[in-house]
Amino acid sequence: MKKFSIASFVVLAAFAAKANALPDLPVDEPTKVERVMSVTNVFVSSRMDRDDASVFISGQFPNSCYQWSRATVNELEEDKSAQNMHVLRAYANVSQGMCLQVITPFTREVSIGALGDGQHTIRVLNGDGTYQQLIVDIR
């Protein structure tokens, strides 16, 4: 029995030494994908003025793999008749892996920039093709 214990110890020690001698293998990082998020609410900031206009957007991430990334604001140039149209998109980084199935709310202030006098339309595009629209008068 004593010989069996010593032999088992020697075998285990050999496996441990071999495992430590292996080169470091690269660890697979979870892949992140950026997606357009759906926004449920759009609010005008109380300090909306012509020099630095901003809005608040809010929504919900469907699980813990979603993290806020950024928001973009572009002038709508396809339709020249729609002057003062600003298109906003909210993006989230989504990691591919194990996720907690918890709905996580988010709220962010998004700067639109300087606006001229007149009526401005702010259109928030969602990931599913729908949009919300907000009209503000700047004087």
pLDDT in tens, the chain (139 residues): 666 666 666 555 555 555 555 456 565 666 889 999 999 999 987 767 778 888 999 999 999 999 999 999 987 655 555 678 899 999 999 998 889 999 999 999 999 888 888 888 999 999 898 999 988 888 7
pLDDT value of position 52: 83
Q: Is residue 72 part of a domain?
A: yes
Q: Is residue 90 part of a domain?
A: yes
pLDDT value of position 38: 93
Residue 1, C-beta contacts closer than 8 angstroms, at least 6 positions apart: none
Domain that holds residue 94: 32-138
Q: Is residue 114 part of a domain?
A: yes
Q: Global pTM?
A: 0.71
pLDDT value of position 72: 94
pLDDT value of position 80: 55
CATH number at residue 36: 2.60.40
Q: Is residue 100 part of a domain?
A: yes
Q: Is residue 25 part of a domain?
A: no
pLDDT value of position 24: 60
Q: Which residue has the tokens 């572009």?
A: 74
pLDDT value of position 63: 95
Q: Is residue 26 part of a domain?
A: no
Q: Is residue 9 part of a domain?
A: no
Number of domains in the chain: 1
pLDDT value of position 49: 73
